Chain A
Amino acid sequence: EVQLVESGGGLVQPGGSLRLSCAVSGFTFSSYWMHWVRQAPGKGLVWVSRINSIGTTTDYADSVKGRFTISRDNAKNTVNLQMNSLRVEDTAVYYCARVVGGSFDNWGQGTLVTVSS
């Protein structure tokens, strides 16, 4: 069974940092692109970032470029999102997702990040 489990969310002050992790199981992690998608409370889904199967290619949404860094550890089956210079508008549930072709076929349950003073 494919499983993705996010962790690391919490309350942080504006300007602070947080590191999210997503532990996966049930598939050959090193064969897939992995993505982060977020959803602000009561709002829609927003794509955040992606990383290729071997960790050599990354892409980011303009809204997080220069502040967020995606990485992965294929030995530990984890994908991470380092979030720096956090803003109030970064408050959201953050989902990690596996992508096959052009679709997000498996999602984690999400972890809530709240940026507030």
Chain B
Amino acid sequence: QSALTQPASVSGSPGQSITISCTGTSSDVGGYNYVSWYQQHPGKAPKLMIYDVTNRPSGVSNRFSGSKSGNTASLTISGLQAEDEADYYCSSFTSSSTFVFGTGTKVTVL
């Protein structure tokens, strides 16, 4: 199972909006609504930010939103803040009854 494709890096200024893409196939992202997004700060465990494509867990800022079109899912961070600087990973369930993560995106707040 190949990793989902994400841009290596995305940057933005405080207050701006950025979008991270996550491209898979019809056997994973395109075939299921089990797409989720994770934030990981250096040396820390990942944290769930979006589940089932568009849903935010309790306690996650509404500045984070998710969407999907075809085989590509997206995470948008609006009103970018310094604390958002981290690595972000998407994940999807697959037709092989396994899971696959994205390649990861480093978000830099300028």
A47 interface residue (CB < 8 Å to B): yes
Where the two chains meet, the residues of B that have a C-beta atom closer than 8 Å to any C-beta of A are: 1, 3, 32-36, 38, 40, 45-48, 51-52, 57, 89, 91-93, 96-104
Contact between A47 and B99, CB atoms less than 8 A apart: yes
Number of interface residues of A (CB under 8 A): 23
A38-56 CB contact bits vs B (8 Å, 1 = yes)? 0000001111001000000
A44 contact from B35, B36, B93, B101, Cβ within 8 A: B101
B45 contact from A61, A62, A110, Cβ within 8 A: A110
Which residue of chain A is the closest to B94 with respect to CB atoms? A47
How close is A96's CB to chain B, nearest CB, in angstroms? 10
Contact between B89 and A104, CB atoms less than 8 A apart: no
Contact between A104 and B48, CB atoms less than 8 A apart: yes
